Amino acid sequence: MISQSVIARPYAEAAFSVAKKDSSIEEWSTDMQKIKAVFKDEKIASLLLNPNLSYSNKTQIFLDLFDGEISDKASSFIKVCGENKRLKNLPQIISFFNELALESLNKKNVSVSSPFQLEEKQIQKITSALEKRLNSEVVINFDIDKSLIGGLKIAYEDQVLDMSIKRKLDLLQTQLRN
């Protein structure tokens, strides 16, 4: 079976190439986020997996969701994905596109997990520290992971900084077993 990245990366690179050529990376990024947001709805997933609908019908229904909301080029991109039976791959395609866009703008995508909602002051402190460490502007995606118990888990590029109480307890448990 073909890896999702093998399928998604060429589409992302093609979209990014058009966005860069037109100097519209930020507009494309905005459109891509709108497209990716609809995949959170289970009805969309069931639409894309429905064997009773042709891909042209699925594509048209999907495009109708964004009528007047995204640029014509982004709509054309959805049509190309639909014609090539790649609508279900759009979240992965958009993730790769975002990586390329952030890299071109000298920004880094960072995921921060905590067991509770962080205060604005904490967010600013984390953002500042990461920007200093990475020598670049950061775009942080915060999520709540109650299993961490306390502390933070920070992931960027190919690195993970796990400063959670859960990890410390797991390490302690491993040491006690040995």
CATH of the domain at 25: 1.10.520.20
22 and 80 share a domain? yes
Q: What percent of the chain has pLDDT over 70?
A: 98
20 and 82 share a domain? yes
Number of domains the chain is built from: 2
DSSP string of 87-113, one letter each residue = GGGHHHHHHHHHHHHHHHTTEEEEEEE
Burial letters 15-46, b for 16+ CB under 10 A, else e:
bbebbeeeebbeebbebbeebbebeeeeebee
57 and 135 share a domain? no
Which of 55, 77, 103 corresponds to the end of one domain?
103
24 and 97 share a domain? yes
145 and 166 share a domain? yes
46 and 126 share a domain? no
> What are 62-72's pLDDT values in tens digits?
899 999 999 99
Six token digits for residue 161: 């900084």
Which of 103, 118, 137 corresponds to the end of one domain?
103
56 and 130 share a domain? no
Owning domain of residue 84 = 4-103
Q: Which of 40, 43, 68, 36 is nearest to 58 (CA)?
A: 43
> What are 115-169's pLDDT values in tens digits?
999 999 999 999 999 999 999 999 999 999 999 999 999 999 889 999 999 999 9
116 and 88 share a domain? no
132 and 73 share a domain? no
